[in-house]
Chains A and B, each alone.
Chain A
Amino acid sequence: MMLKIKNLHVSIDGKEILKGLNLEINPGEVHAIMGPNGAGKSTLASVLAGREEYEISDGTVDFDGKDLLELSTEDRAREGLFLAFQYPIEIPGVSNIQFLRTALNEIREYRGQEQISAKDFMALVREKSKIVELDSKLASRSVNEGFSGGEKKRNEIFQMAMIDPKLAILDETDSGLDIDALRIVANGVNKLKSKENATIVITHYQRLLDYIIPDFVHVLYNGKIVKTGPKELALELEERGYDWIKEELGMEN
């Protein structure tokens, strides 16, 4: 098993957001997490990536045999966890290329591997930027600065391709994308899929799941995963909303 989240309780500013969340992910799988606003979807992504403002009061997260919650943000990345940000950050003055090369080399150093040569690195940039049809000019600009919304999301997937993580978490990567950008981003994710890696797709909309076909769809509601089903569950949620699940579970608003 790659990721095992057990009874995770998380709060921020004294307010509990995740209330005993359980999730298990195996290599080769794609999991979609859906749910209404405020259910805790982005909190889950943030906690897995290591944002420090969250307080974890209970539960464990095992990532490939390591206690994920004990690792720093950078070590989680070096162990193979990747978060595609819902709102990618602009970093003026730091070039995309310099940033990625530093990242790759620090990851390699952690793993006891040699630094990547400039030549191999540039070849990798050319190869991987094609996957998301990212203009090579964007690769050499400052990180996300002046990028359109779609370019920012493509840049996230480009970084994912460069870093080649074991587990990728896509946090609302589809929000704000037009259908062409969505298709490019989804194709990119699909091309990167393998038997060894896994993906968590956090989304509001079923639309993305037409392009990235999940093995499992989870409904996150009120801090817990309340229902898990096959990909058809996403369609049902799109048509019927979330109220029927509340009724099915006998929950109040």
Chain B
Amino acid sequence: MSKLNVGETYEIDINNSNQAFILSAELRSKAAQIIASTDFPTTKTEAWKYTRVTKIKNTKFKILADFPLWRGIKGEESSNQIDKFLIPNLSGSVIVFVNGLFSSELSTIEAENGLEILPLNQDNTFKKDLGKLIPLENEIFYSLNTFYAQDGIAIRIAKNTQLKQTIQLIFISSGENTYIGNRNVIRCEDFSKAHITMNYVSLDNELAFNNTITEISVGSNAHLSVDKIQQESESMNSIISEFVQQEKDSTFSINTFTLGGDLVRNNLNIDVNGQNCETYLSGAYILKSKQHVDNHTIVDHKVAYCESNELYKGVIDDQATAVFNGKVFVRKDAQKINAFQSNGNILLSNTATINSKPELEIYADDVKCSHGSTTGQLDEEAIFYLKSRGISYKTAKKMIVGAFLEDVIKRVSNEHVQLYVNSLTNNSLKV
């Protein structure tokens, strides 16, 4: 089965692609039925209340086998083109995907004991477990990803392996109406440790759609930290989802920095399955013009003695909109949970919007949970104070906004990545 055979179903054009699909026939068939029978979410759908997806719905996207610009970055020129997306001074493997397909020419895999990296369309071992925990019912975007996914990265960090170097993933988009739908899998086995960056970038300013899912498992006593950097073009539609399974005594942290994109929806789903886990979700966003960025997080505390900490901060200018919906579940008998959620925003214009909705759903009785949300304007008194010492308005604004975002940026533990993020956020502050 390669095509959907239903009359008016939302379809992605695959005529130019000769790649095989990576999800099982069974899951793809289920996904096909759901795509055929499920409408796109509207603002009446609770989980999509503040985010409209009509532009995605009304665009005919296509998967490309070969790409005009992709040719351009092959060969001798390619390394220069990729250089600007590399995090300076960061050593380790660099894995590059262009429009959803792994590029062996642009990637460099640095061998380390206990580390296995390979693209899923060349793999036979990871594939069989793929998609088992991804909900499809009523989920058109997860179903689209399941049906159309042709590639993605598989990373396995074997038991007891402490990676010394960072794994840098770069996802490049280019071309008009391009559909990208990677399915990635990251397995951190027991007692392993890894740091991974996921950098989402564009080569041009064409309307495109990235609908990527990453399946992550963090084994017992394993430590995984992910830095997700979104700096795609202002015509990009991105729905980027991570599904994380945490086993006992593990630590998972993810820092999401959103600077680019027209419509960005991040779905972070964390199942905390074992006791004594730590979970850190952080994010910073700097939005302007008509950008719409929606961070949806779910932390599901299924068992006792765990801690989760969530900190999202944003600066919103022009007519941009940010949405924060963080949900924490504490299941019955999941006692002694500490869950903390915080969302802070600075609105730089009268037409900027924030919809902030931290939520707690608690079924246990001995827990410590809190959530909070603040929204304010730029502190004009502080700006005046800095100006009165000879500092320009422009610098003063950068200093104050930079200070506001600093506690999120400081959560990036790798110094090179932290510097990189710092310079990106500095550059994207409009003055």
- Nearest Cβ distance between residue A53 and chain B, in whole angstroms? 10
Find out whether the CB atom of A94 lies under 8 angstroms from the CB atom of B403: yes
Q: B387 contacts A89, CB within 8 Å?
A: no
Smallest Cβ-Cβ distance to B410: which chain A residue: A93
User: With A73-B384, A89-B381, A91-B386 as given contacts, are A102 and B404 in contact (CB-CB < 8 Å)?
Assistant: no
Whole-angstrom CA separation of A76 from B404 in the bound complex? 27
Residue-wise, chain B 378-420 has the 8 Å CB interface mask toward A (1 for contact) of: 0101101111111111010001101110110000000000000
How many angstroms from the CA of A92 to the CA of B331 in the assembled complex? Answer: 37
Q: Which of B392, B393, B407 counts the most A-chain CB atoms under 10 A from its CB?
A: B392
- Chain A interface secondary structure, helix, strand, loop or mixed? helix
On whether the beta carbons of B404 and A103 are closer than 8 Å, the reply is no
Q: How many angstroms from the CA of A114 to the CA of B376 in the assembled complex?
A: 37
List A contacts of B400 (CB < 8 A): 91, 94
Any B CB within 8 A of the CB of A88: yes
Collect the chain A residues with CB atoms within 8 Å of residue B392's CB.
Answer: 74, 106
**Does A93 contact B407, Cβ atoms closer than 8 Å?**
yes
Within 8 A of A (CB), among B81-137: none
In the complex, the answer to whether A77 meets B399 with C-beta atoms within 8 Å is no
**Residue in chain A with minimal CB distance to B389:** A103
| Contact A77:B403 (CB < 8 A) given known A89-B382, A91-B382, A102-B395 | no
Neighbour of A163 across the interface among B384, B386, B389, B403, CB < 8 A: B389
Is B389 a contact partner of A99 (Cβ separation < 8 A)?
A: yes
Contact indicator A88/B390 (Cβ below 8 Å): no
Q: How far is the CA of A49 from the CA of B385 in the complex (A)?
A: 10
Q: How large is the interface on A (under 10, 10 to 19, 20 to 34, 35 or more residues)?
A: 20 to 34
The answer, among B382, B388, B399, for a CB contact under 8 Å with A102, is B399
User: Is the CB of A50 closer than 8 A to any CB of chain B?
Assistant: yes
Q: In chain A between 79 and 112, which residues have their CB closer than 8 angstroms to a CB of chain B?
A: 82-83, 85, 88-89, 91-94, 98-100, 102-104, 106-107, 110
Q: Which residues on B sit within 8 Å (CB–CB) of A77?
A: 387-390
Name the distance in Å between B404's Cβ and chain A's nearest Cβ.
7
Docked pose: A94 CA to B385 CA in angstroms: 12
Separation of A104 and B389 alpha carbons in the complex (Å): 8
Residue in contact with A74 in the complex, picked from B387, B399, B406, CB distance below 8 Å: B387
Tell whether A72 is near chain B: CB-to-CB under 8 Å.
Answer: yes
Q: Are A88 and B388 in contact (CB under 8 A)?
A: no
CB–CB A73/B404 < 8 A:
no
Provide the bound-state CA to CA distance between A93 and B344, in Å. 14
Give the CA-CA distance A219 to B391 in the complex, in Å: 33
Cα A110 to Cα B387 in complex, Å, equals 13
Whether A103 lies near B385 (C-beta < 8 A) is no
CB pair A93–B391 under 8 Å, yes or no, is: no
Contacting residue for A93 out of B384, B385, B393, B404, CB 8 A? B404
Q: Does A222 contact B (CB under 8 A)?
A: no
Residues of B close to A49: CB separation below 8 A: 388
The answer to whether the Cβ of A227 comes within 8 Å of any Cβ in the partner chain is no
Q: A77-B387, A89-B381 are in contact. Are A94 and B399 (CB under 8 A)?
A: yes
Pick from B386, B395, B400 the residue with the most CB of A within 10 Å.
Answer: B386
For residue A94, which residues in chain B have a CB less than 8 angstroms away from its CB? 386, 399-400, 402-403
* A73 with B387, Cβ < 8 A, contacts A94-B400, A106-B395 known: yes
Cα(A83)–Cα(B392), bound, Å: 16
User: In whole angstroms, what is the CA distance A93 to B410 when docked?
Assistant: 11
A102 to B390, CA, bound (A): 9
- Complex CA–CA separation, A76 to B389 (angstroms): 9
Max chain B C-beta neighbours (<10 A), residue from A88, A92, A94, A110: A94
A203 at the A/B interface (Cβ < 8 Å)?
A: no
Complex CA gap A104/B386 in Å reads 11
- Do A103 and B391 form a contact, CB below 8 Å, given A93-B404, A93-B406, A94-B400? yes
Q: Are A73 and B388 touching (Cβ within 8 A)?
A: yes
Q: A78 contacts the other chain (Cβ, under 8 Å)? A: yes
Q: Does A159 contact B (CB under 8 A)?
A: yes
Chain B residue with the shortest CB-CB distance to A46: B384
Whole-angstrom distance from the CB of B209 to the nearest CB of chain A? Answer: 37
Given the complex of chains A and B, what is the CA–CA distance between A98 and B389 in angstroms?
A: 13
**In whole Å, how far is A217's beta carbon from the nearest beta carbon of chain B?**
26
Q: List, in ascending order, chain A residues with CB within 8 A of B407's CB.
A: 93
Please, could you name 19 A-B residue pairs with CB atoms under 8 Å apart, sorted by A? A50-B387, A50-B388, A73-B384, A73-B387, A77-B387, A88-B385, A89-B379, A89-B382, A91-B385, A91-B399, A93-B402, A94-B402, A99-B386, A99-B391, A100-B389, A102-B391, A102-B399, A106-B395, A110-B390
The 7 closest A-B pairs by CB, nearest first: A93-B403, A77-B390, A89-B385, A103-B389, A73-B387, A107-B390, A74-B387
Contacts from B to A (Cβ < 8 Å) = 379, 381-382, 384-393, 395, 399-400, 402-404, 406-407
Apart from the given pairs A91-B379, A94-B386, A94-B399, 17 other A-B contacts in the complex at a CB distance below 8 Å: A72-B393, A73-B384, A74-B391, A76-B388, A77-B390, A78-B390, A82-B388, A89-B385, A91-B386, A93-B402, A93-B404, A99-B386, A100-B389, A103-B386, A104-B390, A106-B395, A163-B389
